[in-house]
Amino acid sequence: MSDQQSDRQTVDQLDAGIQALLLEKDTGLLPSNPAVAELLAVAVELRTLPRASFKADLQAALLGETPSNAYSAAATGTHGLSQQALSHRGLPQRIADPARVASLSSDLLPTVAVPEHSLYPVQRSSFMTSLAAHALILALLITSGIWAAPSFHEKTRVSSSVVLDIGSYVLPPATDRAGGGGGGGDSDVLQASKGSPPRFAREQITPPAIVVRNEDPKLEVEPTVVGPPALSFPQTSQMGDPFAHITGPPSNGAGTNGGIGSGAQGGVGMGNGPGVGDGWGGGIGRGLYRAGGGVSAPRPIYDPEPDYSEEARKAKYQGSVVLQIVVGADGLPKDMRIARSLGMGLDEKALEAVRQWRFEPGTLNGHAVPVVVNVEVNFRLY
């Protein structure tokens, strides 16, 4: 065999060995030619010969990084590698795609979702344990305001008081009826006799009288009762108290300060004022009194305080509720209504409490009479 033929065989054997090496085929046979075996040993190391562009690419990737995108590159595991390198890593095409890689960097927990992308190997069990522990700590921190702080309920203070209406009496507006009342008399031993009251006028100069004591007045003035002039009573021939039960003998009644009836202040009836009927101040009344002018105010003798509503306590809501109630002659609250509302359940709490109150009733001339009073309930937090 000539040297030329021998060299050609060596070259062919070497190329066959390199071809098998590159295709990663393990023939299991060592080349018989020692020269080829030596050269193949060199060729084996050349399989990892670095690409010229790799060093430059990696340097660019490293120095182009900022602290923020350093993580991104590390998390996605791309490290500036080429598409070819990525595909050689056996990553799915959707991940190897550069656009996909860029979007993955913003995905939630890429190191867990794609283990190949992690800078460090992530053990999912450890990661989930850590995540759960952090979540628990975070939850404890968030709720610590509830369970760590001493149990604290705002102290509530509720006070209630009966408020007397001391303003001047004003007739409530009405088209056919006016509140109030009046009464009078001249301390006669007989009850006032039944009859009709005189006409209503804005002011009263002369109180009415059935039995005229002054037969010869120097200036005669028509007797009137105070009230809207439009008000009228069914007229009879006899002047008297329309609420009286007897028709005679004529009497101005047992009241005082002029007028007719058992009341006072120049009116007609059992009231207290220049009007007609039960009541106070004028007009026609038959029922309720207001404190003052001889009518004593009801006095609470049992007044449990209302509770604070939970809703208002949580909202730290405070204020006053005013209830208008009628304290009956029996000392029980009746006809309750809310004169000033507060809301948040406090109105109901006030009504619920005041309904249980018991009063010493107001009196007129020593007799218990129903009296309208306001009850102010103050709800305060401190």
Partner 1 sequence: MKLENAVDEQLQIAAAQRDPAEFAELYENNFARIYAFIARRVPSRQDAEDLTGEVFHEALRTLARFEWQGAPFAAWLLGIASHRLAERWRRAGKRPEVAENDWDETGVDARTEENLILFQLVDELPPDQRLVICRRFIDQKSLKEIAQELQRSEGAIKQLQFRALQNLRSRMRSRYV
Secondary structure letter of residue 213 according to DSSP = S
Secondary structure letter of residue 355 according to DSSP = T
Distance CA 221, CA 248 (A): 25
- Answer yes or no: are the C-beta atoms of 235 and 183 closer than 8 Å: no
Judged by CB under 8 A, the stretch of 52-60, 263-271, 359-367, 374-382 that binds partner 1 is 52-60
Q: Quick one: which of 20, 33, 80, 305 contacts partner 1 (CB under 8 A)?
A: 80
Q: Please report, for residues 12, 96, 281, the alpha-carbon distance to residue 99 in angstroms, rounded to integers and kept in the order given.
A: 45, 9, 93
The residue (of 48 and 168) whose beta carbon lies closer to partner 1 is 48
The residue (of 116 and 222) whose beta carbon lies closer to partner 1 is 116
Exposed, middle or buried by CB within 10 Å (0-12, 13-18, 19+), for 305? middle
Q: Taking the complex as a whole, how short is the minimal distance between the CB of residue 111 and partner 1, in angstroms? A: 13
Q: Taking the complex as a whole, how short is the minimal distance between the CB of residue 133 and partner 1, in angstroms? A: 24
Q: Quick one: which of 20, 31, 33, 79 contacts partner 1 (CB under 8 A)?
A: 79
What residues numbered 149-208 form the site for partner 1, per CB under 8 A? none
Q: Does the footprint of partner 1 cover residue 135 (CB under 8 A)?
A: no
Lay out the site mask for partner 1 across 1-40 (x = CB under 8 A, - = otherwise): ---------xxx-xx--x---x---------------xx-
Residue in this structure with the two tokens 């023939």, named with its chain if needed: 27
Q: Quick one: which of 51, 94, 177, 367 contacts partner 1 (CB under 8 A)?
A: 51
HSE-up (13 A, CA, CB side) for residue 209: 16
Q: Taking the complex as a whole, how short is the minimal distance between the CB of residue 97 and partner 1, in angstroms? A: 17
Of how many residues is the chain composed? 382
E strands within the chain? 156-163, 182-183, 200-201, 225-226, 273-274, 276-277, 284-285, 289-290, 299-302, 319-327, 333-340, 358-360, 363-364, 367-368, 371-381
Q: Does the footprint of partner 1 cover residue 73 (CB under 8 A)?
A: yes
Residues that bind partner 1 (CB under 8 A): 10-12, 14-15, 18, 22, 38-39, 42-43, 45-52, 54-55, 58-59, 61-63, 65, 70, 73-74, 77, 79-81, 85, 88-89, 119-121
